[in-house]
Amino acid sequence: MPNGSLDKHIFGGKDAPVLNWEQRYNLISGVASALNYLHHEYDQMVVHRDIKPSNIMLDSAFNAQLGDFGLARALESDKSSYTDMVGVPETLSYIAPECFHTGRATRESDVFAFGVVILETVCGRRVSCSSPAGFGQLLEWVWRLHGAGRIVDAVDPRLTGEFDEKDAERLLLLGLACSHPNAGDRPRTNAIMQNLARSVPPFAVPLARPAFTWPVEPTVNADEDADMTETSYTTAATTTVVEVNPEVPGEHGAQERAREACVHDARLEHHGRGLRRPGGTRQWLTWARVGSIKARLSGETW
């Protein structure tokens, strides 16, 4: 891609070109379009499982293309999660909390990662440092600003104030809603699309970050597609969530205790490339054209 990946632009340092506000808003909308296609419009539901800035490529016009489908999986029409996995394969900071308990990739876990990407793109900061001790730094920081009524202060200072404050608040609230600790409270991609189109008010988000609760009771989503019933995760295990005081990104200290128990036992493993279909067909999803909501596929039989 002529303009490389998104991470080079938002984490590239002082000498990196700065994406303007319109470019950031448009590429977030584009990635949402791609996710909506994969989750609801393709003939089988696809979970990407590895959404992060380094997998979002930018063309010559800074349109986003969602790439690296090596971990993606297509699911049969009566399934809502991919369970044939041990551990969680995605990059640590983009993993939804429930995945540490279930090992399942779902649309909700994709939405969680997308929420993290929204916050990184708007704030111009990485979600955490490379070690598990920094898990969730950016999320906690934005939640804290939201609670103080100063959420717009999180916008990338390199924009030097050249952004729409209402749109900035909309995106930051969307990022918090998508990265909600509990899967059942995250919005679906069709609601995300409406929000980004400005056809509905910004999401209402609690002033304090909700605690991650586990286990949860099975529920059926009323707005699920007619041919698919989705059940939330269940487990016999219980988890004690220890709340810590987050620090501003870049500092060290209390984060070392955050979600340590969840992260410690995570095992990252790659489970092949491609998408399994009924009848033994593997589909290689090479890229999704984000702006026009298209995906290019080539088939190969196992």
Provide the annotated active-site residues: 50
Number of neighbours of residue 254 by Cβ within 10 angstroms: 13
Contacts of 241 (CB under 8 A, 6+ apart): 211, 212, 213, 214
Could you list the beta-strand ranges (E) of 70-224: 73-75, 81-82, 105-106
User: What is the C-alpha to C-alpha distance for residues 5 and 198, in angstroms, rounded to an integer?
Assistant: 26
Number of neighbours of residue 8 by Cβ within 10 angstroms: 15
Q: How far is CA 114 from CA 179, 213, 259, in A?
A: 8, 21, 20
User: What is the C-alpha to C-alpha distance for residues 135 and 146, in angstroms, rounded to an integer?
Assistant: 19
Using left for φ > 0, alpha for ψ between -120 and 50, and beta otherwise, residue 90 falls in beta
Q: Which two tokens stand for residue 207?
A: 């002033």
Q: How far is CA 89 from CA 13, 271, 273, 288, in A?
A: 28, 8, 12, 20
Q: Are 22 and 85 in contact (CB under 8 A)?
A: no
User: What is the C-alpha to C-alpha distance for residues 267 and 91, in angstroms, rounded to an integer?
Assistant: 11
Number of neighbours of residue 296 by Cβ within 10 angstroms: 10
